[in-house]
Amino acid sequence: MKLHVQTTVNGEAKEFLCAPEQSLLDVLRDELNLTGTKEGCATGDCGACSVIFDGRLVCSCLVLAPEASGRRIETIEGVAHGTELHPLQKKFLEHAALPCGICTPGFIVAAKALLERNPDPSEEETRYWLAGNLCRCTGYDKIIRAVLDTATELRGETR
C-alpha cells in the first residue's frame, strides 16, 4: 500500500506517494525529479545524498520517505537563487573543486550547513565536519580551499 506524504522541499509544499520502506533519497530522485541529490553507497558512509532535514544535515538514504511527513527538506536544488549560484557553488567552480562531480551536491549541502552554524571555521573544523562526505577522485584539498574561501567571502573579508 502506498502512503500519501505531504512535506516541504526547498520551501515549497510537496506531496508524493511512497512505499513504507522507500528511502527519502529514492523519493527525491524518482518521484519529485530532484536528481541533484546523488546515491553513492546507500549505507550512510559517503554523504553524496546529503540533505538538510528539519535543520539537520542527514544522509537521505538513511531516512524513510514517510518520515518526511510535515518536515522541511532542503536539497542542492534549493541552494542557488534562481539562476544566481550560491557563493559556495561559485567557489567550487573557481577552485575546480569538482573532479567528476558526483560528490559535489553532497559536499555543497554539507558545507552550507557548516557555514550557517560557523561562519569562521578552521581548516581542521571544516575537515572534520566534511569527514562524512567522500570524494573518490580524492579532490579533498581543493574542496576544503573552496569552502574556506567561501567563508572568507561571506564574512566580507578579502583574501
Partner 1 sequence: MLDEIRYEAPSSLARAIELLGEEGARVLAGGTDLLVQMRSGRATPRVFVDVKHIPETTRLDLGTSELWLGAAVPAAAIVEHAEIARLWPGLVEAIDLIGSTQIQGRASVGGNLCNASPAADTTPALCAVSACCVIAGPRGQREVPVEQFTTGPGTNVLGRGELLAGFRIARPAARTSDAYLRFIPRSEMDIAVVGAGVSVALDAAGRCTGARVALGAVAPTVLLVADAAAALVGSRAEDQALTRAGAAASAAARPISDKRGTADYRRRIAGVLVRRAATAAFERARAGGSA
Choose which of 9, 27, 34, 58 interacts with partner 1 (CB under 8 A). 58
* Binding to partner 1 in span 63-82, by CB under 8 A: 63-64, 66-67, 69
Check residue 57 for interaction with partner 1 (CB under 8 A): yes
Instruction: Answer yes or no: are the C-beta atoms of 109 and 50 closer than 8 Å.
Output: yes
Task: For residues 147 and 150, give the distance between their C-alpha atoms in angstroms, rounded to a whole number.
Answer: 5
By C-alpha distance, which of 57, 63, 52 is closest to 23?
Answer: 63
Q: Residue 20 interacts with partner 1 (CB under 8 A)?
A: yes
- Position 146 contacts partner 1 (CB under 8 A): no
> In the 8-state DSSP scheme, what is residue 84?
B
Q: Which of 7, 50, 75, 150 binds partner 1 (CB under 8 A)?
A: 50
Q: How far is the CB of 82 from partner 1 (least distance, A)?
A: 28
Nearer to partner 1, 50 or 75 (CB): 50
